[in-house]
Amino acid sequence: MGKISAVISAYNEEKHIERCLKSLGFADEIVVVDNSSTDKTVSIASKYTNKIFTQKNNPKEIDIQKNFGFERSTNEWILSIDADEEVSGELAQEIKQILSAKPSSIASINGFWIPRKNYIFGKWIKNNTGWYPDYQLRFFRRERGKYESRKVHEDLSLEGETEKLTQHLIHHNYDSIDQYVKKILIYAPNEAEALISNGYEFSFFDVIRFPLSDFLSWFFARKGYKDGFYGLVLSIMQAFYHFLVFAFIWEKKGFKDYEGDEFIKETEKEFKKAGKEITFWLTKEKLDSIKNPITRNISKITSKFH
């Protein structure tokens, strides 16, 4: 039977890490990498494992720093998990079944994608396709996977074939608005830098287009509205994130200015475009919600005259 090392990278996670560690009882080894926490993270982790390693915290390289823990694990398989996540009992059982199978049955598979349930402000966001099933490549052969990109929240780089599991990681994503804002203040400047390095050409009116595009994507295209008011608030917050991305780009461009009559005219055009896009999506989703095909076709025809 193959053995598994669960690897956690944590920074000031005293609120979450014990719940995570308790869910890892099925693992043969638990490796905790502490990124110089100043709270009780290490003392809590020490109750569950003596394999605790410390490194300097670098918020701009959250994922690539996880390689430090992978290198210190000793088993063939790694389960990479964050301190604010936990393994469901069903997922633990599924992983054990995989590792107890004949080696030849998974000889060509080097990694598994795990669906993840995101709980935000206490609720499972289950209807928005941006938040669920949210597959994560977290279970893999130690010699075949590592993080290579220095961008935040990039997928693991893996050699070879992968498959999908059916049971879930549980992600206690955001507990408060304050936590959300603090995190996006880490991610937004990183994305701004990445866009600039990839040749982004500055446009003043991306200050409207960036957040609008993100809101339409999360609320309409990804069906965020099906999560009700949570879906609306989260979609607006995602839009705010992309507003901040643009704002950091603007800052890096030296706070360029634009004013005068042309500025007012162009701003008016952008807001009119935005209104048309929102109206289009509202109409589309209303029509898609009509089950009767005849009624739907009649509604499509009448909507063209409004």
Report pLDDT digits (tens) over 89-142: 999 999 999 999 888 889 899 999 999 999 999 999 999 999 999 999 999 999
pLDDT of residue 306: 52
75, HSE (Cβ side, Cα atoms, 13 Å)? 19
Residues of the chain below pLDDT 50: 298, 305
pLDDT of residue 305: 44
CB distance 46 to 11 below 8 Å: no
User: How far lies 250's CA from each of 156, 186, 189, 205, 261, in Å?
Assistant: 31, 17, 11, 11, 21
Nearest Cα to Cα of residue 88 among 199, 176, 147, 172: 172
Q: How many CA atoms lie within 13 A of 244 on its CB side?
A: 17
Domain edges within the chain:
4-174, 177-303
Architecture of domain 4-174: Alpha-Beta Complex (3.90)
> Quick one: CA dihedral 183, 185, 186, 187, positive or negative?
positive
SS3 at position 54: strand
pTM, full prediction: 0.86
